[in-house]
Structures are given as structure tokens and as C-alpha cells.
């Protein structure tokens, strides 16, 4: 099949590359000439395990090309996938201007029947708007479909090639058949539904996962007060298949480009229909507060932070990515600075992205975990990188000025801490 993918962000680039890997001829389009030049030169603008290898192979097999010429790409292809960004506006609503622009350009370009798929996360009703914009600019026949994406950053290639399910939302049997053929090599768990339900499935799924995280984080906070261990609680809960063990890892709250944006957008969508989504509002509130437990624990150990140096391990919102969008580290570090302390921060790959957003003379960006911990009054672990998990505790002890460790991701086990001089605070476990 011949496909064009509009937008080479996480979703567009990974989907396009994976469809090429399945043997389709894919043209990835982006308005950024710089991005397209990088991709044509074999440089991948995002860090994603396994992606570069797939890009190189499929380019070599002439199944994958990159261009800024949307018009030509659309003309040459049977299926057009819209995967442009839908960033949050200040009120939490999704900004659909990129989607609308893509729809107009597609309308101007189409030269025969096409299936127009939206993969971007969009409010209910957006696909229908895409359809009406295209028909304002074109007299050719086309069908629209919503096929939401469920990939996770850091495991995007694996997730795309091994999906739990594919949702195809369309009112057209012809489009459903085309999209079934396109996706059936990936899984037999394909659901065909109406467009509005498909749009809702994406928001509801992310909102539910966010709810699980805030739920377990609150249970963790209560565990700390009653002397229970949240990891054992999560294990026991997760064994009930109705609950499931995934997304029950307590920590400093969720971040990234999806959960914060999509939970806010769903609250807005509900609000516009005069529905007060109270549960989801609480999920967001709990998440926004959870990160400050790190500050509360620092104060408990150090009292006044004025003049202290705090080491930070991990700036990305999760491991295996250089993405720092809505990473809890921003607010944690800003709060530490406000309390008069200095910060020494290290992340294996996300430090440059982080510094571009938070450059402050009181933050020293370090080139190793050892440097960030060296002579610090306390060390806070904010991302569960493998590199941190495998660092011997005696090493950390010799680097630190005082053996104060706040483990925001529970990467160490209490047994390892027994008999050491560490003052150790983790999440939801007896300290």
C-alpha cells in the first residue's frame, strides 16, 4: 500500500517507519525543512530505541522517503495519515490548528479516492471537522477514519509493531476494509467502531492509566503513614486480573507529552458539554502534588535548604527517552532553587533538552552521575534509568557529603539499605 504520513513527531515518525517495515511504501511529510534534512541525512531527531535501524533499512529498500512536499506526497498515496501535534492551549483545550491546516492542504492536494486517517489525539467530533474541511477544497471522493495510537515513548517501535489492539473508527465500509488490510499484519485484535467512539477510546484509555497512577500514588502516601509497603500492596492488587498489575508503580507522578495534556483535554471536552469530570480533576490534582513529596522529604531531612547542594539523578519524564515535556523534574528543581539551594543535575540523555528549557546559574548540569552526587547534601532520584539502579550504594555514600537519599522511583530495595548510614526515603515504603 502507498501511504503518506503528515507530521514526523513521535507518533508520525514511528508509525510511518513501522508501516514501511511491514512492506508498505511510505512518504513522511513535515513542514520543518530542518527535520526532513536531518532524516534524509540519516539523523533521527528523537531518541527512540530501534528506530534508527528501521529507518536506515527501509530507506535503503526504497520503502521510506522524507519530504516537505505535502501536495506531491498526498497525490502519490492511497492512505493519508494525519499525525501532527495537538498541543494544549492555556485552558487545557487541544489546539487543533495544525490538524485544520493539514486537512486544508490535503483537500487541495487530493486527486482521486483516498482514505484520510487521523492518528493525532483529537477531541470527539474532530474527524468529522477534518472531513468537512477537506470537502470544502476538493470534489474527489474520500473517507475519513480515526485510528488512535497507543505507543509509549521509549518502547514506541515495539509497541507499534506489537499492539494490544487496533481501533479503526470509520463510518465507511470501504475505508474499514483498506485499514483492516493495512493493520492486520500487526494483530488480530482489531475493533471497527464509529468515529466518535474511537476518538473517545484514546482519551478514556490515557485518562484511565493516569487514574491508576494517581490512585497508587495516594495509596503510597497512606502506606507511608500507616507503615505498609506500597509495592506489596500493588503486587497483591495486581494479581486480581480485574485490576491488573500494570501502571501501579508509585513514584513522583506522571509526566510526558500525553497524560498531562490528554487528561486536561478530556476535562475540557466534558466541561464544554456541561459535565464536571470530578474524578479526573482529582487525578490531575493528585499528580500535580505528588512531585512535591520530594521537597517535603528534603525538608524533613535537611530542615532549611538555604545554601545546600542537592544532587538530581534523572530529568526525563521516564527512562529510555530524552523527552522532558511536563517532566516532574522541572517543578522539583524550581522548588529547590526557590528554597535557596543549588542543584547539580545529571541525566544520561535528556540534560540538553532540559537545559534548553531551564537554564539557571544555580543549576550545574553534570556529565556523570558521580559528578552530580559529589559533595551534595542529598541526592534525589527522579527517573529510574538502569544506570542509576546498577550504581553500588557504597559508591554513592562516598560521593555524597551526607548520605541522604530520596528515591522518587523506588529503584533501591530496603534490604540493600540495611546496616548502611543512609537516611533513605522512598515512595510508599517504611523508611
CB 279 within 8 A of CB 212: no
User: Judged by CB under 6 A, does residue 152 bind ligand UGA?
Assistant: yes
List, in order, residues 6 or more apart from 354 with CB less than 8 Å away. 315, 316, 324, 327, 329, 330, 345, 347, 365
- Bridge partners (DSSP) of residue 342 are 309
User: Judged by CB under 6 A, does residue 324 bind ligand UGA?
Assistant: no
| Residue number, 110 or 147, with CB nearest to ligand UGA | 147
Which string of x and - marks every residue 210-239 that binds ligand UGA (by CB under 6 A)?
---x--------------------------
What nine digits make up the cell of 116?
Answer: 484520510
Which string of x and - marks every residue 190-209 that binds ligand UGA (by CB under 6 A)?
----------------x--x
Q: Which among 258, 308, 366, 380 is annotated as catalytic?
A: 258
User: Judged by CB under 6 A, does residue 330 bind ligand UGA?
Assistant: no
User: Judged by CB under 6 A, does residue 248 bind ligand UGA?
Assistant: yes
CB 245 within 8 A of CB 235: yes
Dump the DSSP string for 31-95.
Answer: S-HHHHHHHHTT--SS--TTHHHHHHHHHHTT-EEEES-HHHHHHH-SEEEE----PBPTTS-B-
- Structure letter (DSSP) for residue 257: S
User: Judged by CB under 6 A, does residue 4 bind ligand UGA?
Assistant: no
Please choose, from the candidates 87, 86, 150, the residue with its C-alpha nearest in 3D space to the C-alpha of residue 122.
Answer: 86
User: Judged by CB under 6 A, does residue 256 bind ligand UGA?
Assistant: yes
223 among known catalytic residues: no
| Residue number, 245 or 364, with CB nearest to ligand UGA | 245
At closest approach, how far in Å is the CB of 47 from ligand UGA?
13
| Residue number, 19 or 254, with CB nearest to ligand UGA | 254
Q: What is the dihedral of CA 142, 146, 151, 157, to 10 degrees?
A: -20
At closest approach, how far in Å is the CB of 84 from ligand UGA?
13
Q: Does 401 carry a binding-site annotation? A: no
Please choose, from the candidates 151, 159, 156, 154, the residue with its C-alpha nearest in 3D space to the C-alpha of residue 320.
Answer: 154
User: Judged by CB under 6 A, does residue 163 bind ligand UGA?
Assistant: no
Instruction: Provide the annotated active-site residues.
Output: 258
Residues annotated as binding site for substrate?
150-153, 202, 247-251, 255, 318
- Residues near ligand UGA, by CB under 6 A: 121, 149-153, 206, 209, 213, 247-249, 251, 254-256, 258-259, 262, 317-318
Amino acid at each position: 500500500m502507498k501511504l503518506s504520513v503528515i507530521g514526523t513527531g513521535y507518533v508520525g515518525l514511528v508509525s510511518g517507519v513501522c508501516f514501511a517495515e511491514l512492506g508498505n511504501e511510505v512518504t513522511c511529510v513535515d513542514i520543518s525543512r530542518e527535520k526532513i534534512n536531518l532524516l534524509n541525512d540519516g539523523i533521527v531527531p528523537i531518541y527512540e530505541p530501534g528506530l534508527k535501524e528501521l529507518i536506515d533499512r527501509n530507506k535503503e529498500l526504497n520503502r521510506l522517503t522524507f519530504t516537505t512536499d505535502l501536495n506531491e506526497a498526498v497525490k502519490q498515496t492511497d492512505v493519508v495519515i494525519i499525525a501532527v501535534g495537538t498541543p494544549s492551549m492555556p485552558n487545557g483545550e487541544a489546539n487543533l490548528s495544525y490538524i485544520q491546516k493539514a486537512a486544508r492542504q490535503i483537500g487541495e492536494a487530493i486527486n482521486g479516492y483516498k482514505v484520510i486517517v487521523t492518528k493525532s489525539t483529537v477531541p470527539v467530533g474532530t474527524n468529522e471537522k477534518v472531513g468537512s474541511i477537506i470537502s470544502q477544497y476538493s470534489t474527489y471522493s474520500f473517507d475519513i477514519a480515526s485510528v488512535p495510537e497507543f505507543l509509549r515513548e521509549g518502547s514506541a517501535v515495539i509497541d507499534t509493531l506489537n499492539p494490544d489492539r487496533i481501533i479503526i473508527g470509520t463510518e465507511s465500509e470501504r475505508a474499514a476494509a483498506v485499514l483492516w488490510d493495512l493493520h492486520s499484519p500487526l494483530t488480530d485484535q482489531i475493533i471497527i467502531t464509529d468515529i466518535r467512539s474511537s476518538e473517545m477510546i484514546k482519551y478514556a484509555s490515557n485518562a484511565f492509566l493516569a487514574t491508576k497512577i494517581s490512585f497508587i500514588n495516594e495509596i503510597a502516601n497512606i502506606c507511608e503513614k500507616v507503615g505498609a509497603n506500597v509495592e506489596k500492596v500493588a503486587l497483591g492488587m495486581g494479581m486480581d486480573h480485574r485490576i491488573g498489575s500494570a501502571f501501579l508503580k508509585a513514584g513522583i507522578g506522571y509526566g510526558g507529552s500525553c497524560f498531562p495534556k490528554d487528561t486536561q483535554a478530556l476535562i475540557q471536552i466534558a466541561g464544554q458539554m456541561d459535565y464536571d469530570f470530578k474524578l479526573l480533576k482529582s487525578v490531575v490534582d493528585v499528580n500535580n502534588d505528588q512531585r512535591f513529596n520530594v521537597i517535603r522529604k528534603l525538608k524533613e531531612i535537611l530542615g532549611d535548604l538555604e545554601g545546600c547542594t542537592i544532587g538530581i539523578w534523572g530529568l526525563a519524564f521516564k527512562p529510555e527517552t530524552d523527552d522532558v515535556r511536563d517532566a516532574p523534574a522541572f517543578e522539583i528543581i524550581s522548588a529547590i532553587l526557590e528554597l535557596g539551594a543549588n542543584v547539580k543535575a545529571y541525566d544520561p540523555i535528556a540534560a540538553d533538552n532540559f537545559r534548553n528549557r531551564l537554564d539557571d546559574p544555580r543549576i550545574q548540569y553534570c556529565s556523570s552521575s558521580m559528578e552530580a552526587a559529589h559533595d551534595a547534601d542529598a541526592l534525589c532520584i527522579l527517573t529510574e534509568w538502569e544506570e542509576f539502579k546498577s550504581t553500588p550504594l557504597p559508591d554513592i555514600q562516598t560521593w555524597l557529603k551526607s548520605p541522604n537519599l530520596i528515591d522518587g522511583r523506588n529503584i533501591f530495595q530496603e534490604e540493600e539499605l540495611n546496616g548502611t548510614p543512609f537516611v533513605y526515603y522512598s515512595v510508599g515504603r517504611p523508611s
